Chain A
Amino acid sequence: MEPGLRTYILKRVGFAVLMLVGVSIILFTIMRLAPGGPEAVLIGGEFSQEAAAQIRQRLGLDRPLALQYLGWAGGALRGDLGRSFKTGDPVAALILDRLGPTIQLTFGALALALVVAVPLGVVAAVRRGTIWDTLGSAVALFGVSFPSFWLGIMLILLFSEVFHVLPPSGLSEYGREAELAARVRHAILPTLTLGLIQMASFMRFTRSSLLEVLRQDYVRTARAKGLSGGRVVWRHALRNALIPVVTVVGLSLPTLVGGAVLTETVFAWPGIGRLAVGAVFERDYPVIMGVNLMVAAVVISANLLTDLAYCVIDPRISYR
């Protein structure tokens, strides 16, 4: 490995860690600055000042903010994210429990979006100005304009209420042991919802990036050599055109995970998003922190990997 690249990687990794610390400090501060606390939710109904103070002391919320943060961060470094205020379960276990469904949902949606968007983007670019191009831009435009939760509900209306072919929700009722067929049937509508929303930006990027590449000299050379149009596009142009698309896929992760919150709520999907929504309503600070830290870590590492993948895919990029 050349020294320039190594320094670059080290710098980027260092910065990613700093960013994670920054995010955790911001989140911690925001949460503790909020009026009200978990005691109202935990006790429920009327309660005295003493009872509230007692609970705050038990949860360690009476200590100075900086100490609370350091205590939490120390634990987090050892992999201990604390225990849920509400159930007393370890936060890490709660998250692990919900991670599988969310990963399945987001990766399924990502795969679906790519499988549809990349070919559509290629066709839209190659057949520029034709009906295919118009269709492609319609898909892109609709994708960024649909409220995901409503799209989900409309899909339920169509496939569950009108045609009765797919279950509307309720994967959680089946739990983990559910047979594969049932799980797949439950996954179709949520994956479709999240995937359709995500398709738009991938398709736009593939199209504009390929249009850019098709103008390059080496493409003209390939054509001049007498290669067929299809070969030029798929073998020569698309490879380079997909480089910016890789970045977009990496950068789309925050939207994807954010979209999962709504999609999971609509379809009662037992994932991270619903865990987060529930924790926020119950002011379960350790769970909120844990979920957000994990999501931020995933997003930051994805960005880091995208940047590093760039160095490998495209040797022309200099590392500074």
Chain B
Amino acid sequence: MTAPVRSERPSIFDRFTRNRRGLVGGLVVAIMLTAGALAPALAPQSYSSQSLLNRLQPPSAAHWLGTDGFGRDVLSRVIWGSRVSLEIALFATALSLVVGTAVGSVAGYFGGGVDTAIMRAADVFLSVPALFLILIVVALFGASLANTALVIALVTWAPVGRIVRSECLSLRNRDFVHAAAALGAGHARILGRHLLVNALPIVIVQASLLLGQTILIESGLSYLGLGAQPPLPSWGNMVVEGRQFLASAWWIATFPGLAIFVTVLGFNLFGDGLRDASDPTLRGHSP
């Protein structure tokens, strides 16, 4: 007997590594996550150490990205700032995926009244402009990490739920699901072991795209003064502080914003690459 031959079809991993844009995105994401995790070791200076003699210095060998209005090193603050953004983004995305996946799979699997009720609730959440709702909750309840993450999850679960639902709708009538039911598998087992496992690639793709979105939302909140409070740096509040020096010191507002853009671009490229790898027929089709 010979060992069973695996199919010749390239694996998701193989297809992903051949996707140059996806790889670049993955690399950017990895660099940013590392920077956030190792901020204390990587940042040349503390995020709060001031030096009024060194105010508003342009980028130089000593301060690669220049210094801000308090003489603080902009590079160090950008590195520290990645922590705040990424923490909230990871937390909010995890929450949104758990809720969206649970709700969406139940709606798609059971269908009927359950499906209608859940999807109508999703419609209500989709029709409130997200930023308005987030603004209200964060301003009234306080801008803690937990509050911000919770409310971002509150406005982002609905699209995830819709996507998971439609995936489960199309999976539930497949032969392997009928076979599992015929063998006596209960609802929980079919959902967990058969539907969700097959919907997983789509959920992972959503995770990557959602991380980019939540970083944008968080930075917007910070910009409005509803994120991390000074002196703790977040990319959004650094842009606000740089705004007043725009005419004399362009680097203060420019680099933190660039960090947001590059990180979000990285997550989007990574997500697109993953989607193309997991299902080549979807290439270029997503909104």
| Contact surface of A with B, Cβ cutoff 8 Å | 15, 19, 22-23, 26-27, 30-31, 34-36, 137, 141-142, 144-150, 153-154, 156-157, 161, 201, 204-205, 207-208, 211, 248, 253-255, 257-259, 261-262, 265, 276-277, 280-281, 283, 288, 291-292, 295-296, 299-300, 303
Distance, CA A211 to CA B246, complexed state (A): 44
Give 22 CB contacts A-B under 8 Å: A23-B127, A30-B136, A31-B136, A34-B141, A145-B261, A147-B236, A147-B261, A149-B223, A150-B261, A153-B246, A157-B253, A208-B285, A257-B132, A258-B132, A261-B132, A261-B224, A265-B224, A277-B224, A280-B140, A281-B139, A292-B133, A299-B127
Identify which of B57-65, B72-80, B262-270 touches chain A: B262-270
Interface string of B243-254 (1 = CB under 8 A from A): 100110010011
**Closest residue to B131 on the A side, CB-wise?**
A258
Distance, CA A230 to CA B269, complexed state (A): 32
Residues of B within 8 A of A144 (CB): 212, 264, 268
Interface size class of B (residues with CB under 8 A): 35 or more
The listed residue with most A CB atoms (<10 A of its CB), out of B123, B212, B236, is: B123
Contact of A145 among B135, B212, B239 (CB under 8 A): B212
A254-B128, A258-B130, A281-B139 given; A161·B268 CB < 8 A: no
Q: Is B239's CB under 8 angstroms from A153's CB?
A: yes
Asked whether any CB of chain A lies closer than 8 Å to the CB of B44, the reply is no
Q: Is A161's CB under 8 angstroms from B136's CB?
A: no
Residues of A within 8 A of B247 (CB): 161
Q: Is B246's CB under 8 angstroms from A280's CB?
A: no
Asked whether any CB of chain A lies closer than 8 Å to the CB of B126, the reply is yes
Q: Is B257's CB under 8 angstroms from A154's CB?
A: yes
B233-287 with Cβ < 8 A to chain A: 236, 239, 242-243, 246-247, 250, 253-254, 257, 260-261, 264-265, 268-269, 272, 284-287
| Contact surface of B with A, Cβ cutoff 8 Å | 120, 123-124, 126-133, 135-137, 139-142, 212, 216, 219-220, 223-224, 236, 239, 242-243, 246-247, 250, 253-254, 257, 260-261, 264-265, 268-269, 272, 284-287
Distance, CA A153 to CA B252, complexed state (A): 11
Residues of A within 8 A of B120 (CB): 15
Q: Is B132's CB under 8 angstroms from A295's CB?
A: yes
Contact of B140 among A23, A31, A137, A154 (CB under 8 A): A31
Q: Known pairs A147-B220, A258-B132, A261-B132; list 12 more (Cβ under 8 Å).
A: A19-B123, A27-B128, A146-B264, A147-B239, A149-B239, A150-B219, A153-B242, A154-B257, A157-B254, A208-B284, A255-B130, A300-B127
**Closest residue to A23 on the B side, CB-wise?**
B128
Q: Is A283's CB under 8 angstroms from B128's CB?
A: no
Residues of B within 8 A of A288 (CB): 136
Residues of A within 8 A of B141 (CB): 34-35
A262-B223, A280-B139 given; A295·B123 CB < 8 A: no
Q: How far is the CB of A36 from chain B (nearest CB, A)?
A: 8
**Closest residue to B239 on the A side, CB-wise?**
A150
Distance, CA A303 to CA B284, complexed state (A): 25
Distance, CA A283 to CA B141, complexed state (A): 11
Contact of B287 among A147, A248, A292 (CB under 8 A): A248
Residues of A within 8 A of B129 (CB): 253-255, 257-258, 295-296, 299
